[in-house]
Amino acid sequence: MKLSFYGAARTVTGSLHYIDAGGSTVILDCGMYQGPRLESHERNKKMPEKAVNAAACLLSHAHIDHSGSIPYLVKRGFRGSIFCTRATADLLRVMLLDSANIQQRDLEFLQRRGVPAVEPIYDIDDVEEALKRLVPVRYGSWFEAAPGIRAKFLDAGHILGSAVTLVEATEGSMTRNICFTGDLGRRGMPILRDPEALPACDVVLTESTYGDRTHPSGQETEATLAAILRDQAARRGPIIVPAFSLGRTQNLIYALYQIFKRGDAPRMPVFVDSPLSSKVTKIVSQHRDCFDDEALAVLGADGAPFYFPEIRYIEGVDESKELNDRSGAFLVLSASGMCENGRILHHLKNHIYKPNAMVLLVGYQAQGTLGRRLHDGAQLVRIYGEEIEVKARVQVLPAMSAHADRNDLMHYLSPVARSCGQIFVVHGEPSAAVSLGDAMRGMGCAQVEVPNPGDSFDVV
């Protein structure tokens, strides 16, 4: 019995791991590597044959860095089942179609500018083929993934439909329980239930995105957000928020709803300017089965907390452009979350030179992205080939993150760290992964590894 690591090893994107047991291989996730365009393209095109030939894929959640290479996997010949929760299956359709469309738009944009462009690695037809292979399952129900490998999903509390995957693998007389955290959520975050406790198991694969950092609490974040809204209301300036369509956007909308309802800040127009964010928010609003008690208590017949009088979901480009000339305080939520593409670029271009504007960063900003340059205080940025002076204030609201921080990870992992034999720390930059690994060793786990891509380990 073996575990092997391919993607999201000493990095945070391209999640893909293998379990070999009893002659079968299953893959955990099949995510897209996200980074500089050409490098990403090269890496994503190198889909290993081992993944293509796997018997099944166990998908933890619908974020593209975990699911985005599935259509390419199927295009390359994968013929197994892709197991995921029901909510993940619903989200996957819009997420993967959007991913195919982004690749096509990127190609056309670069071709128009005469820049050498890369072909999309899949198109919408490939997405449709991939969706046929989805097998939605309920949280908590065992299913057979391959001969000798069964699995069940537990609530990971990270985004809608997200799952911790528990795998029971058998080889000869040996049976081991392997627990893959996927992306783990935080305790006390809005809308979704908290992550379920990790079950007793022999092996853990844990994420470590924030393995070396802690976030402020959710209440502190709402208070900070309310203060920002009051401030911008007084300055009569726009707030531009690059936000991931899935997860971050809904958490922010929920927080705005609560702040306005309590009267903690003046009500102001909120524009959600991303067709994907609008579609995803609709799917989230329909999955009450995944909500926590607090969210269930504020659900209103009028659509609250996702639909309320101040919020407008923009569809057309013309409506989006009208925001360029709008004055006064208002808030625009747009994608992409790291300012790499999408309508957020237009909003940044049209507002960041204004001293009364604010850019509010609510998520992880990877190296090499425009979001990271703004985060690091760049005075001059290039958007659509134009150099623009950054006069807007740039504020970071780290606690909007849907990832467990170091304290949360310790809370979830410590009960199993002593009893399980092996822990593999994945899905983190090296410093975060190594730091969490050291902590796990300190808790008495016999074998803790921070695997490199391509590493393979015997399950003991």
- 63 vs 133, beta carbon nearer Zn ion: 63
**Minimum separation from the CB atom of position 371 to Zn ion (A):** 16
For 43, other C-beta atoms within 10 Å of its C-beta total 18
- 65 vs 126, beta carbon nearer Zn ion: 65
- 63 vs 176, beta carbon nearer Zn ion: 63
**Whole-angstrom Cα distance, residue 11 to residue 207?**
10
Query: Which x/- pattern, by CB under 5 A, does the window 36-65 give for Zn ion?
Result: ---------------------------x--
- 65 vs 449, beta carbon nearer Zn ion: 65
**Minimum separation from the CB atom of position 244 to Zn ion (A):** 9
> What interhelical angle do 86-112 and 275-286 show, nearest 10?
180
* DSSP three-state, residue 77: coil
For 177-195, b where at least 16 C-beta lie within 10 A, e where not — what string? ebbbbbbbbbeebbbbbbb
Q: Residues for the chain: how many in total?
A: 460
Could you give the C-alpha distances from 386 to 88, 349, 355, 410, in angstroms and in order?
A: 38, 9, 19, 45
Distance between alpha carbon 344 and the CA centroid of its chain, in Å? Answer: 18
- 63 vs 152, beta carbon nearer Zn ion: 63
Which residues, numbered 194-253, are part of the site for Zn ion (CB under 5 A)?
Answer: none
**Minimum separation from the CB atom of position 61 to Zn ion (A):** 6
Could you give the C-alpha distances from 96 to 32, 68, 99, in angstroms and in order?
A: 11, 6, 5
Q: Name the residue with tokens 């850019």.
A: 359
- 156 vs 390, beta carbon nearer Zn ion: 156
Size of the site for Zn ion (CB under 5 A): 2
Distance between alpha carbon 395 and the CA centroid of its chain, in Å? Answer: 21
**Minimum separation from the CB atom of position 195 to Zn ion (A):** 13
- 145 vs 184, beta carbon nearer Zn ion: 184
- 237 vs 428, beta carbon nearer Zn ion: 428
**Minimum separation from the CB atom of position 60 to Zn ion (A):** 8
- Is residue 183 a contact residue for Zn ion (CB under 5 A)? yes
- 163 vs 360, beta carbon nearer Zn ion: 163
Backbone angles phi, psi at 141, to 5 degrees: -100, 130
**Minimum separation from the CB atom of position 246 to Zn ion (A):** 8
Which residues, numbered 59-98, are part of the site for Zn ion (CB under 5 A)?
Answer: 63
- Is residue 10 a contact residue for Zn ion (CB under 5 A)? no
**Whole-angstrom Cα distance, residue 419 to residue 405?**
22
> Do the beta carbons of residue 73 and residue 308 sit within 8 Å?
no
* DSSP three-state, residue 47: coil
Q: 294 is written with which tokens?
A: 């607090």
**Minimum separation from the CB atom of position 103 to Zn ion (A):** 20
What are 239's strand-pairing partners? Answer: 331, 358
- 63 vs 347, beta carbon nearer Zn ion: 63
**Minimum separation from the CB atom of position 159 to Zn ion (A):** 6
**Minimum separation from the CB atom of position 412 to Zn ion (A):** 16
**Whole-angstrom Cα distance, residue 131 to residue 221?**
37
**Minimum separation from the CB atom of position 431 to Zn ion (A):** 20
> Do the beta carbons of residue 41 and residue 34 sit within 8 Å?
no
Q: Is the peptide bond before 136 cis (omega within 30 degrees of 0)?
A: no
> Do the beta carbons of residue 458 and residue 1 sit within 8 Å?
yes
In the complex, the residues that contact Zn ion under the rule CB under 5 A are: 63, 183
